[in-house]
Amino acid sequence: MDAVTVDTILMHVRESLERNDVPEAIRIIETLLPADQADVFEELEPEHQEILLPQLAVEDAADILEELDEADAANLAARIDEDSLAQIVAEMEPDEAADLLGDLDPILSTATLELLEEADDVRPLLLHQDRTAGGLMTSEYLAFPQAMRVSQVLSAIREWEPRGPETPRIFVVNGGRRLVGQVGLMRLIRAEPAQRLRELMDPDVLRVHTSDDQEAAAHLMSRYDLLVVPVVDDEERLVGVITVDDLVEVLEDEATEDIQRIGGTEPLDRPYLDSSVGAMARKRIWWLLLLFVTGTLTGSVMSLFQEELDRVVALSLFIPLLIGTGGNAGTQTTTTIIRALSVGDISLRDTLRVLWHEFRTALILGALLTVVAYIRAITWVDSPAVALVVSASIFAIVLWANGVGSVLPLLAARFKVDPALVSGPLMSTLVDATGLLIYFSVASLVLGL
């Protein structure tokens, strides 16, 4: 649904609420798909949200709490009565329910758990840390003992009504609930009713451990095209599964973090408009201050060469241009390398190939810019010597910037630091000061200053 449609529907819902026609508002909301329901819902006034949520069909209310941004969902949940909340939470997917309960005040969270009939689905999920495979998993999956027959499994499946997405995969466990195999639902349908799971199952199952990083789980799923990956504890016992909708979310969050870091800001953790101005300023100020301090280096380099600048005033005109070009070339390289590392196109063992690749690219770019810079300089200051200094410097600066731009993110990866921290702004600031050093050295050499 696009923004215009959301606005139109929102208008109708608001009109209904203004004339106190709550049933009409509910009717409109219940015709929508979950993601659209949440979009409309989050635009309503808090007092309207409180009135509407407990009156919606409980499945719709559950969908809305699942789709809302986590902090919004927790705020809303805290404002409705405990019985309604427990009923809604009972209809949520267990992993989403656990996330919500984890965000609530501990007293409210405990009270809701006590009112919850299927608390056993949710309780174990609360034990795992955010951003681990255990924190991402759900307890809704199909697992049967290896001695069970196909006919028994199929009748068990007939009784199963999951609240989340149905994934067509059955996990097979031994007596100690250890994961020993898997069978696809299609394979099961094709099998003879008397066959046992042991005979059908594929014993090779890729798995993750509860304490694994969620990004590791996501990369495993994306690399091997898995719709669902089982999560086991330290004794290899099956305790949950991660489904592909979570994979999509993790991948998007990860790209968002990379992009924000490349832009020189700490990741926001929350959607843009839900981040407070104070939080936004906090995420940005340290980078700005760091870059400010390193930026003063550029000025210091200029003071060092003040005498030369005074003697050939034209030199100063090209300073912004030279440091800008260095920063741009370095940023191009760094962002390309950061992303290639992120998606696994390159890894540390490719370091030499990457450097060789960037070196040759820099030769071409440097050569082209040298020509352009010479022409620009000679038409501007009419001094072949200055034009030579400017164009030779730009060649050296582009080579240098591409080198620094490729080495820094690889070094970061080598020391297990997020390569995205070597962001564009950091790169530009570093290359600014060093680029000026190159410029003044070339100038001293050529002009004999």
| Residues 12-41, interacting with a second copy (CB under 8 A) | 33-35
Angle at 43 between CA 42 and CA 47, to 5 degrees: 80
DSSP state of 149: B
Which lies closer to a second copy via its Cβ, residue 132 or residue 336?
336
Rounded to a whole number of angstroms, the minimum distance from the CB of residue 25 to a second copy is: 21
Two structure tokens written together for 110: 């405990």
The CA-based diameter of the chain, rounded to the nearest angstrom, is: 96
Beta bridge partners of 237: 178
Candidate ranges 53-61, 195-203, 359-367, 407-415; the one touching a second copy (CB under 8 A): 359-367
Contact (Cβ atoms closer than 8 angstroms) between residue 241 and residue 137: yes
Rounded to a whole number of angstroms, the minimum distance from the CB of residue 199 to a second copy is: 17
Alpha-carbon span 172 to 340, nearest angstrom: 37
Helix (H) or strand (E) holding 172: strand 169-173
| 124 counts as binding a second copy under rule CB under 8 A | no
| 8 counts as binding a second copy under rule CB under 8 A | no
DSSP state of 173: E
| 262 counts as binding a second copy under rule CB under 8 A | yes
Q: Which one among 78, 147, 343, 375 touches a second copy, defined by CB under 8 A?
A: 343
Contact (Cβ atoms closer than 8 angstroms) between residue 111 and residue 82: yes
Interface map 126-155 toward a second copy (x if CB under 8 A)? ----------------------------x-
Measured CA to CA in angstroms, residue 155 lies from 166, 176, 188, 189 at distances of 16, 23, 12, 12
Rounded to a whole number of angstroms, the minimum distance from the CB of residue 313 to a second copy is: 8
Rounded to a whole number of angstroms, the minimum distance from the CB of residue 376 to a second copy is: 6
Amino acid at 416: K
Candidate ranges 81-89, 100-108, 120-128, 216-224; the one touching a second copy (CB under 8 A): 216-224
Which lies closer to a second copy via its Cβ, residue 232 or residue 329?
329
DSSP state of 276: -
Rounded to a whole number of angstroms, the minimum distance from the CB of residue 414 to a second copy is: 12
Alpha-carbon span 133 to 229, nearest angstrom: 10
Rounded to a whole number of angstroms, the minimum distance from the CB of residue 402 to a second copy is: 10
Q: Which one among 5, 296, 441, 444 touches a second copy, defined by CB under 8 A?
A: 296
**Dihedrals phi, psi of 150, to nearest 5 degrees:** -55, -45
Rounded to a whole number of angstroms, the minimum distance from the CB of residue 146 to a second copy is: 21
Which lies closer to a second copy via its Cβ, residue 65 or residue 319?
319
Q: Which one among 353, 382, 384, 441 touches a second copy, defined by CB under 8 A?
A: 353
Which lies closer to a second copy via its Cβ, residue 80 or residue 226?
226
Rounded to a whole number of angstroms, the minimum distance from the CB of residue 113 to a second copy is: 26
Which lies closer to a second copy via its Cβ, residue 75 or residue 256?
256
Of 435, 408, 412, nearest in space to 328 by CA: 435
| 273 counts as binding a second copy under rule CB under 8 A | yes
Number of neighbouring beta carbons within 10 Å of residue 56: 19
Rounded to a whole number of angstroms, the minimum distance from the CB of residue 105 to a second copy is: 26
Interface map 304-323 toward a second copy (x if CB under 8 A)? --x--xx--x--xxxxxx-x
- Considering only residues 361 to 380 of the shown chain, the ones binding a second copy according to CB under 8 A are 361, 364-365, 368-369, 372-373, 376, 380
Q: Tell how strand 208-209 and strand 228-232 pair up.
A: parallel
Size of the site for a second copy (CB under 8 A): 112
DSSP 177-245: -BEEEEEEHHHHHHS-TT-BHHHH-BS----EETTSBHHHHHHHHHHTT-SEEEEE-TT-BEEEEEEHH
DSSP 325-349: HHHHHHHHHHHHHHHHHHTTSS-GG
Rg, Å, the chain Cα set: 30
Contact (Cβ atoms closer than 8 angstroms) between residue 432 and residue 326: yes
Q: Which one among 54, 124, 145, 295 touches a second copy, defined by CB under 8 A?
A: 295
Q: What 3-state class would DSSP assign to 285?
A: helix
Q: Which one among 74, 208, 291, 396 touches a second copy, defined by CB under 8 A?
A: 291
| 292 counts as binding a second copy under rule CB under 8 A | yes
- Considering only residues 50 to 79 of the shown chain, the ones binding a second copy according to CB under 8 A are none
Rounded to a whole number of angstroms, the minimum distance from the CB of residue 140 to a second copy is: 12
Interface map 175-214 toward a second copy (x if CB under 8 A)? ---------xxx--xx---------------x--------
Which lies closer to a second copy via its Cβ, residue 112 or residue 391?
391
